[in-house]
Amino acid sequence: MKRRLLLLLSMLWLTGESLTFAQSSSLQIPKKIEAGTAFSVPTSGSGKATLYIIGPTQVLRRDFQLGETVSFESGDLHNAGHYMVVLTGPSTETTQMDVVPKPDPYTMSFLAKPSRIPVNLSQGISGVAYVFDTFQNLILKPTPVAFKMSDAAGGTESRTEPTHDGVAWVKMNSAPKAGPAQFNATAGSITEKRVVQQVPADPCNLRMTARPAGQDIELQTDPVRDCTGNPVPDGTIVSFTENYQGKISTVDVPLKRGVAKTDLPAHAGASISVATGVVLGNEIRWGGGR
């Protein structure tokens, strides 16, 4: 049933399109209204008539007596776009109207990417804001959007960009200090918040020490940090490798409380190295007690 109605309305819309150029309309309908605004259409004559307002995503129908004023309540016509108005009755009249978004931002979709980023990365964070009115119409009129990035150390970076066809975007740098950064976008009275986790970069100056522990060697790294001094997060894998007379012993240890610690068999003359990912650390030749 709905399909049939839509088909009929579509045909009416197409017919109206072709008639638009053939006859001038006497319908007194506003040519442009804001989405959701109440409006009325005065009519003249007598007899039953039907008024259709047909748009890309919304169709309104009113049955009335000619001579009455057809009223549309606030919120009745809320989808922005180009509409065809068709009056059917003793005669058929068509005209067109535009529904434009309300100018004030009501909601905003804010995409902040990535959610995790290494520190000190230039132009690494992107923010894209889509500004909508009360009825989720994209506000096409240029609207200023203020982007603000506040890092864990209190540093801020702000920029204001106008929307182009409803979208504003910006690229920001990641801070040198690791931690969660607040990334805000504000349009009018609307503010959306995102959190971008700024994480330490690759470990730097990886270094371990060794000491005897019974028949084993106790190996422990110094606190592992990146090149700007941020502690590398716990769970990062550190690989210890011991090479002794062609036999190799390895162990992959996660950082816990900033350091990696393990025991390997003590062999005098063994060489022990440490690495994490593709970063190599120091090497120790085990002399027995040193």
228 touching other proteins, by CB under 8 A: no
Is residue 229 involved in binding other proteins (CB under 8 A)? no
Residues in contact with other proteins, shown as a per-residue x/- string from 24 to 63 under the rule CB under 8 A: ----------------------------------------
Given the rule CB under 8 A, which of 61-69, 73-81, 156-164, 256-264 is the region that contacts other proteins? 256-264
- Beta-carbon contacts of residue 246 (< 8 Å; ≥ 6 apart): none
Q: Is residue 5 a contact residue for other proteins (CB under 8 A)? A: no
Show the tokens assigned to 129: 């804001």
111 contributes a contact to other proteins by CB under 8 A: yes
| Closest distance of CB 77 from other proteins, Å | 24
Least Cβ distance, residue 157 to other proteins (angstroms): 19
> Does 246 interact with other proteins (rule: CB under 8 A)?
yes
> What gap in Å lies between CA 163 and CA 122, rounded to an integer?
23
176 binds other proteins (CB under 8 A): no
Residue of 249, 258, 273, 282 that binds other proteins (CB under 8 A): 249
Helix, strand, coil percentages for the chain (3-state, nearest 5): 5, 55, 40
Torsion region of 148: left, alpha or beta (phi above 0 gives left; psi -120 to 50 gives alpha):
beta
Q: Residues binding other proteins: what is the number (CB under 8 A)?
A: 43
Q: Does 150 bind other proteins (CB under 8 A)?
A: no
Rounded distance between C-alpha atoms, residue 107 and residue 221, angstroms: 50
The token pair that represents 243 in the structure block? 């090479």
Q: Which is nearer to other proteins, 94 or 198 (CB)?
A: 198
**Per rule CB under 8 A, is residue 6 in the interface with other proteins?**
no
Chosen residue from 203, 225, 266, 274 binding other proteins by CB under 8 A: 203
SS3 string, 154-208, reads: CCEEEEEEECECCEEEEEECCCCCCEEEEEEEEECCEEEEEEEEEECCCEECCCE
* Cα distances (angstroms) measured from residue 12 to each of 5, 26, 97, 249: 10, 18, 16, 81
> 234 vs 283, which CB is nearer to other proteins?
234
In the chain, the amino acid numbered 33 is: I
* Identified binder of other proteins from the candidate list 109, 150, 173, 228, rule CB under 8 A: 109
Residue 68 or 263: the one with the smaller Cβ distance to other proteins is 263
Q: Does 171 bind other proteins (CB under 8 A)?
A: no
Q: What's the CA gap between 283 and 275, in Å, rounded?
A: 10
- Are the C-beta atoms of 263 and 269 separated by less than 8 Å? no
Binding residues for other proteins (CB under 8 A): 108-116, 130, 192, 194-195, 199-200, 202-203, 232-238, 246-254, 256-257, 262-265, 276-279
